[in-house]
Amino acid sequence: MKTPRHCYCFSGIITIYFSLLIHTLASPPLHPCLQDQREALLEFRDEFPVDDLDPSPWNKSSIDCCFWKGVKCDDRSGQVISLNLSDTFLNGSLKTNSSLFRLQYLRHLILSYCDLNGEIPSSLGNLSRLTLVELSHNDLVGAIPSSVGKLNQLRYLSLAANELTGQVPASIGNLNELQVMSLSQNTLNGTIPISLANLTKLYHISLRSNNFTSRLPSNMSVFHNLEHFDVAANSFHGSFPKSLFAISWLQVVYLEDNQFTGPIEFSSPCFSFSPKLEILYLARNKFDGPIPESISKFLNLQDLDLSRNSFRGPIPRSISKLDDLRHLDFAKNKLEGEVPSCLWNFPTVMLSHNFFGSFENPSEETLIQALDLNSNSFRGPFPHWICKNKGLSFLDLSNNLFNGSIPPCLRNSIDYLTDLILHNNSFSGSLPDIFSNATELRMIDVGLNHLEGKFPKSLINCKSLKFVNMENNKIKDKFPSWLGSLPSLIVLSLRSNEFYGTFYQRNVPIGFPRLCIIDLSHNDLSGILPPSYFSNWLGCTEIFDFTKMTPTDKMMLDTGDFRIRTPMEMVNKGVEMRYEQIEKDFGVINLAGNRFYGKIPESIGIWKELRLLNLSCNAFTNDIPRSLANLTNLETLDLSNNKLSGQIPQDLGKLSFLSYMNFSHNLLSGPVPRGTQFQSQNCSSFSDNLGLYGLEDICRENRVLDTTSQHPDESPEAKEQMFNWIAAAIAYGPGVLCGLVIGHIFASTNQEWFTEKFGLRKIRVLTSAR
């Protein structure tokens, strides 16, 4: 009889249960549980110090243990053959002399999610009839006991998601019947034993997220039943395991996040191809050379991720044969040439950070949903053919050499669009007013282009909008104060344009309920701000809690599986921001270089998370508000080049993070506050005022009193800070958003690992804390 094929490990178990069930039905006289087995179970229960052990009724007055929850007996003999306490709170360890090991007939032992701790006792090897051992998701430490090798009937072994250390014992090579082996998410290290090659019945191998440092076995085709092979997130090295791809059942291969090197190649006279291959992840290794034409032999491929390697050359045209491909990620390689048009029919195409120069235009309507061409050398007009695509959700053309206008026909593709990122190209003309149906739009970034004309009024319909960046263009319009009615807006940068008029209009609600970063610097805005102005902006009065991110978002950030795009970062640093780096709170107000006048609103003190405040080069008058001293996180304060008078509030001396400040070119007088931050400033930060004193320490020695003063927010420190904070905020904005787009695809293709790593573990942690 042919062995049934299994897609997932659990269907394997179900099959085993089925055969048991059929067996059971065929043998009528039911035997009650054996006395010694019942006692062993009761004693086993008492080994755990939990009062209300969940699988009731495990108690002395209940005679037939075969009916106890989680227990199954052989009906003819009454021997306990299966113990499944999965998701029972045991909160203890398995002792070497545990009564469990008296259940000599046990075939299935399932203690996953049981809050077990301590080591796996070597006496587990005494249960020689075991076919299934499932101990995943506990707190188990120490090494895998070599006695496991005595379980020579074992078909299924999962020790995933524990804290096991050391090497895999060579004795594992004795488990000739093993079909499923999951050791993922531990801290196992060293080499994988050569004897593993004995286990030719394996169809599922997962070693993901450990510290293995070895090469893979040289002849992978000995695993001729293999369907699922996952060694991602280790330090495996050596060349591409070509022999793997001759296995005819192979469906899923995860090699990402390792140290593999050299070219990849699938074809060879001796090898056939794995016709069932659906998922191939090679991301974040050190592969190089061309993407081989032979990749197109895997006709069932759905998900192909070659990102973050050093692949070179063009995309092979034969890729058009891969009709089922849903997700193609070639980002961060050294690919070049013309992108073939067949790619525009794959739902997700990620080509960012390569050297592509052009693309083939498709002849008909395309099916693409998410397209990322960021940071290549594409030139010429906006790809008009995108306008024929009704289902577009993500478009990033940033950091290329596109020119000409942004076509109004983009209106046809706007209904599902969440992110429109055209940053740092040479687009000119006006930004067309096409957003009335863009209800899903969360991010629009057209900064660093040559756009002119009016600000598109139809953006008022984009109720999901969180992030607007139009900086460094030549847009000439009245300040769009109606943006205040957008309920979700977090980041607004209109820096360096030609906006004019008043920012605040009497009788118009101020709005901006969630705004946290606003940069309107270097425009032509004017008017006064009423004292209560900032009390309307509540975005930065509460701290954004990164711990409340969804697992998907977090995973995306953790694994760097999408780039957290920040215009500043891309232009200036070209580095990626990692989750750790953005786990900061932020708040920026930059109104520098306009014509605001009157008193600085006292309500500024409400922005508890403000990090940067730049009001320089305006015409503000009166005293500096004392409430500034309440901005305890403030790092940069620039009030230079105004007409401020009176004293610098002494309490500002207490702001311990304030590392850059500038009060120069005002009408200030009185003593400069004491405090280390003030004392470490450059003398020029106080120059050209009416009568400031107490500057002796600050202006002593070789600190030059600089009366010419550089442009206030162009000073290197201020610039650097600005980049950092804008970057941080932006990272939060689109990062999370992109996560939803790409995260969805990722989660749906890599469900098992995703659940293992983030879903269940998380839920477990929460419930066991009851």
Ligand X SMILES: *[C@@H]1O[C@H](CO)[C@@H](O)[C@H](O)[C@H]1NC(C)=O
198 binds ligand X (CB under 6 A): yes
- Among the listed ranges 165-173, 287-295, 416-424, 653-661, the one in contact with ligand X (CB under 6 A) is 165-173
Report the residue number, 150 or 353, with the smaller CB distance to ligand X. Answer: 150
Q: Are 760 and 137 in contact (CB under 8 A)?
A: yes
Sole window of 30-38, 184-192, 271-279, 339-347 interacting with ligand X (rule: CB under 6 A): 184-192
| By the rule CB under 6 A, 237 interacts with ligand X | no
The answer to whether the CB of 427 falls within 8 A of the CB of 446 is yes
The residue assigned the tokens 């599902």 is 416
Q: Which residue has the tokens 């999901």?
A: 464
Q: Is residue 95 a contact point for ligand X (CB under 6 A)?
A: yes
Confirm or reject binding of residue 461 to ligand X (CB under 6 A). no
Q: CA 248 to CA 184: how far, in whole Å?
A: 24
Window of 219-227, 290-298, 315-323, 343-351 that interacts with ligand X by CB under 6 A: 219-227
Told to check if 184 binds ligand X by CB under 6 A, we report: no
Using CB under 6 A, which of 194, 543, 690, 704 touches ligand X?
A: 194
Q: Where are the beta strands (DSSP E) in 159-263?
A: 163-166, 180-182, 187-190, 204-206, 211-212, 228-230, 237-238, 252-254, 259-263
Task: Please report whether residue 464 would count as binding ligand X according to CB under 6 A.
Answer: no
Residues of span 622-651 touching ligand X by CB under 6 A: 626-627, 630
Q: Using CB under 6 A, which of 34, 38, 73, 84 touches ligand X?
A: 84
CB 101 → ligand X: shortest distance, Å? 4
Pairing relation of β-strands 588-590 and 228-230? unpaired
408 lies in the binding site for ligand X (CB under 6 A): no
Examine residue 439 and tell whether it contacts ligand X (CB under 6 A).
no
Contact 226, 6 (CB under 8 A): no
Instruction: Work out whether 608 is an interface residue with ligand X (CB under 6 A).
Output: no
> Using the 8-state DSSP alphabet, how is residue 340 labeled?
P
Interface with ligand X includes 99 (CB under 6 A)? yes
CB of 590 to ligand X, least distance (A): 22
In order of 292, 305, 340, the CA distances from 314 in angstroms are 10, 16, 9
In the complex, the smallest distance separating the C-beta of residue 628 from ligand X, rounded to whole angstroms, is 8
The residues, any chain, with a CB within 8 Å of residue 508's CB and separated by 6 or more, are 481, 484
Q: Which of 27, 35, 128, 211 binds ligand X (CB under 6 A)?
A: 211
Instruction: Give the neighbor-by-neighbor strand order of the sheet with 286-290.
Output: 237-238, 259-263, 286-290, 310-313, 334-339, 355-359
Widest CA span in the chain: 105
Binding mask 241-280 for ligand X (x = CB under 6 A): ----------------------------------------
DSSP per position, 271-325: ----TT--EEE--SSEEEEEPPGGGGG-TT--EEE--SSEEEEPPPGGGGG-TT-
Among 294, 436, 650, 709, binds ligand X (CB under 6 A): 436
Q: What is the CA radius of gyration of the chain?
A: 32
Closest CA to 82 of 35, 140, 41: 41
Q: What is the distance between the alpha carbons of residues 568 and 699, in angstroms, rounded to a whole number?
A: 34
Q: Beta strands of 318-417 (E only): which ranges?
A: 327-329, 334-339, 348-350, 355-359, 370-372, 379-380, 394-396, 401-405
CB closer to ligand X out of 43 and 717: 43
- What the block records as the tokens of 452 is 């002119």
Instruction: Indicate which single residue of 32, 404, 530, 598 sits in contact with ligand X (rule: CB under 6 A).
Output: 404
Query: In this structure, how many other beta carbons lie within 10 angstroms of the beta carbon of residue 191?
Result: 14
Confirm or reject binding of residue 152 to ligand X (CB under 6 A). no
Residue 14, Cβ density class (10 Å: 0-12 exposed, 13-18 middle, ≥19 buried): exposed
**In angstroms, what is the minimal distance from the CB of 172 to ligand X?**
10
- The reply on whether position 97 binds ligand X by CB under 6 A is yes
Establish if 195 lies at the interface with ligand X (CB under 6 A): yes
Residue 239 interacts with ligand X (CB under 6 A)?
no
CB 431 within 8 A of CB 407: no
384 sits near ligand X (criterion: CB under 6 A): no
Residues whose CB is less than 8 angstroms from the CB of residue 337 and which lie 6 or more positions away in sequence, other chains included: 313, 314, 315, 356, 357, 358
Please identify, using beta-carbon distances, which residue of 148 and 520 lies nearer to ligand X. Answer: 148
Judged by CB under 6 A, which stretch of 173-181, 352-360, 576-584, 703-711 contacts ligand X?
173-181
Does residue 708 touch ligand X according to CB under 6 A? no
Please state, in angstroms and as integers, the Cα–Cα distance from residue 136 to each residue in 122, 140, 150, 655, following that order: 17, 9, 20, 50
The correct pick among 138, 221, 375, 749 for binding ligand X (CB under 6 A) is 221
Q: Which of 166, 408, 509, 574 binds ligand X (CB under 6 A)?
A: 166
Q: Minimal distance in Å, beta carbon 286 to ligand X?
A: 15
Is residue 55 within the footprint of ligand X (CB under 6 A)? Answer: no
The angle subtended at Cα 628 by Cα 708 and Cα 487, nearest 5°, is 105
- Min CB(194)–ligand X separation in Å: 5
Residue 61 burial class via C-beta count within 10 angstroms: exposed 0-12, middle 13-18, buried 19 and up: exposed
| Contact residue for ligand X among 190, 262, 509, 671 (CB under 6 A) | 190
Question: Least distance in Å: CB of 697 to ligand X?
Answer: 27
CB nearer to ligand X: give 141 or 619. 141
Residues 3, 219, 259, 751: which binds ligand X (CB under 6 A)? Answer: 219
- Cα-based torsion angle of the residue sequence 87, 89, 90, 91 in order, rounded to the nearest 10 degrees: 120
Residue 101 in the binding site for ligand X (CB under 6 A)? yes
457 binds ligand X (CB under 6 A): no
Task: Report the residue number whose CB is nearest to ligand X.
Answer: 57
DSSP string of 702-717, one letter each residue: T----SS---GGGSHH
Helix (H) or strand (E) holding 118: strand 116-119
Least CB distance to ligand X at residue 118 (A): 10
Question: In terms of CB distance, is 501 or 759 closer to ligand X?
Answer: 759
Of 173, 357, 501, 513, the residue at the interface with ligand X (CB under 6 A) is: 173
Asked if residues 484 and 506 have their Cβ atoms less than 8 Å apart, the reply is no
Q: Which residue in this structure is represented by tokens 């995943």? A: 136
Question: Minimum distance between the CB of residue 535 and ligand X, rounded to whole angstroms?
Answer: 11
Total residues binding ligand X (CB under 6 A): 48
Piece of 19-27, 83-91, 292-300, 590-598 that binds ligand X (CB under 6 A):
83-91
Residue nearer to ligand X on the CB measure, 211 or 656: 211
Out of 169, 238, 432, 605, point to the residue binding ligand X (CB under 6 A): 605
Choose between 72 and 565: whose C-beta lies nearer to ligand X.
72
Count CB neighbours of 690 within 10 A: 11
Of 89-97, 285-293, 546-554, 657-665, the window that binds ligand X (rule: CB under 6 A) is 89-97
Q: Is 507 in the site for ligand X (CB under 6 A)?
A: no
Among 222, 387, 571, 619, binds ligand X (CB under 6 A): 222
- 291 near ligand X, judged by CB under 6 A: no
Residue among 43 and 293 whose Cβ is closer to ligand X:
43
The correct pick among 153, 300, 318, 403 for binding ligand X (CB under 6 A) is 403
* DSSP-assigned letters across all residues of 42-111: HHHHHTS--TT-SS---STT---GGGSTTEEE-TTT--EEEEE-TT----EE--TT-GGGG-TT--EEE-
Q: DSSP for 578-638, please give it.
A: PHHHH-S---EEE--SSEEEEEPPGGGGG-TT--EEE--SSEEEEPPPGGGGG-TT--EEE
Residues forming the site for ligand X (CB under 6 A): 13, 43, 50, 56-57, 59, 61-62, 84, 86, 91, 95, 97, 99, 101, 110, 123, 125-126, 134, 147, 165-166, 173-174, 176, 187, 189-190, 194-195, 197-198, 211, 219, 221-222, 235, 379, 403-404, 411, 436-437, 605, 626-627, 630
